[in-house]
Amino acid sequence: MFYWFLKLTLPLFLRVFYRRIHLSGIENIPKDKPVFIAANHSNSFLDGVMVLLLLRKKVFALARGDVFRAKWADFVLRQMNLLPIYRQTDGDLKENIRRNNELADVIFGIFKKGGVVLIFSESIARCEKRLRPLKKGTARMAFDMEQRTDFNLGMHIVPAGINYTYFKGYRKELMINFGPAISVSDWKERYERSDAVAVAELTDEISKRVSEQVVQIKDPDHDHLVDTALNIQRELQAFPFLNFFNRSSRRLVSEISLAERLNEKLIDEEDSMKKDLVEYVSLMKQYSIDERSFNARNISSFNFIWAVLLTIPALIGYVFFGWIYVFSWNKSLAIVKRDEFFDSVLFGISFILSFVEILVISIVLIILFGWYGVVAWVMLILCGFSFLAWKGIIRNFLLKRKWKKFERSSESKARSFLELRANIISRLEMKTI
């Protein structure tokens, strides 16, 4: 029940938490067949929650068993269709084996009904843009499920990539893509010849297919340089404010392609790309330049009028909802010690407070104004979104004004900076979408 409650209530909140969501490859998920979705894992519980929410079909997700220890946590997480899988490090080994055997029976029951189960094949979450070696558990479980029916279950493994433009914070972009499915029954002969070899080979195949869906920065030392280049490309491919939900992989494909090109160029000692990006990052810091300055539109007459009209609704929206995001951010900073849990906690606190406030306001408005209170409630929600739009317009104005001021005060430096940026764009073959 709680699962469907989240399905109904969270989509509105997603529009605030994310700047944009790109969901693609859904056609690769077989219909009316058991499906194991094998995904990368970079953002703790948020990864699973996003897949569960964005797919129309009911999905179950496997999560680390130690977080189910408290009775209230066990109840809430299971209501969200999260199922506990226990690792060797999660307490008593024999007890964990027994629990995992019970879990296997539960999963088999889901698969017999043609259900979908999400598993994070890397096992642990890390806030990084690279795929770590996959554990063999996904392949083992897949073969175990098929073996129970003499490979007549019809199960498929669908590789998935869950990508964020950045970690830790609001207004990021989320890109999820599902790749072509792997039919487990096709591996029957190899499994019967040698189960160990088949498990290893299927794990390699899953890893290969998942890696094709993930933006990867091979060298951790290059994280900031590649992210800088990705930010340049994003500004070339900026979307309108109202374009929130996209069923296209174009953004993801372009980011994967750019990261691959940079992975090669940054290790080539004869290529000056690393030097150029290091200089670009240094100049941005030195001149206090924001990459968004180059896509920030001048305030036209229309935009100016629009900003003026939105000012009062935006202020109302900020008064009612702004405190939630400030409080949630500060609270998350105070209680979260590991980066991979930050966004999950931030998301959870923000959503709970938003839901409670909206619920209380709704009750008060209906009591005071009857059904007219419903209209007032809708207007209040629109005021919240008005603030996001107003903030974007004002940000564009301030960024553009700051850049123009820099151009006037240091024309030669601004020209050199733009030439360096244009050179990076040209050499990396960046294109608009």
What's the rounded Cα separation, in Å, for the pair 230 and 281? 13
Integer angstrom CA distances of residue 418 from 276, 278, 291: 12, 15, 11
Extended beta strands in 242-299, E state: 245-246
Average pLDDT score over residue span 157-181: 97
Average pLDDT score over residue span 356-364: 92
CA angle, corner 328, sides to 326 and 334, nearest 5?
Answer: 105
pLDDT tens string 387-421? 999 998 898 889 988 999 999 999 999 999 999 99
Extended beta strands in 103-171, E state: 116-120, 156-164
pTM, 2 dp: 0.94
Instruction: Say if residue 241's pLDDT is above 80.
Output: no
Handedness of CA 339, 251, 18, 51 (dihedral sign): negative
Instruction: Say if residue 29's pLDDT is above 80.
Output: yes
Give the residue from 174, 417, 373, 187 showing the smallest Cα distance to 282. 417
pLDDT tens string 288-300? 999 988 876 556 6
Percent of the chain with pLDDT over 90: 74
Q: What are phi and psi of 358, to 5 degrees?
A: -65, -40
Average pLDDT score over residue span 211-225: 96
What's the rounded Cα separation, in Å, for the pair 229 and 233? 6
Integer angstrom CA distances of residue 279 from 216, 261, 286, 339: 23, 19, 10, 28
Residue 1 confidence class, pLDDT cut points 50, 70, 90: low
Are 83 and 103 in contact, with CB atoms under 8 Å apart?
yes
Q: What is the SS3 assignment for 129?
A: coil
Average pLDDT score over residue span 11-23: 93
Domains and CATH numbers, the chain: 2-214 (3.40.1130.10), 221-296 (no CATH), 301-419 (no CATH)
Q: What is the chain's alpha carbon radius of gyration, rounded to the nearest angstrom?
A: 24
Average pLDDT score over residue span 48-75: 90
Per-residue pLDDT at 5: 79
Per-residue pLDDT at 60: 96
Instruction: Say if residue 433's pLDDT is above 70.
Output: no
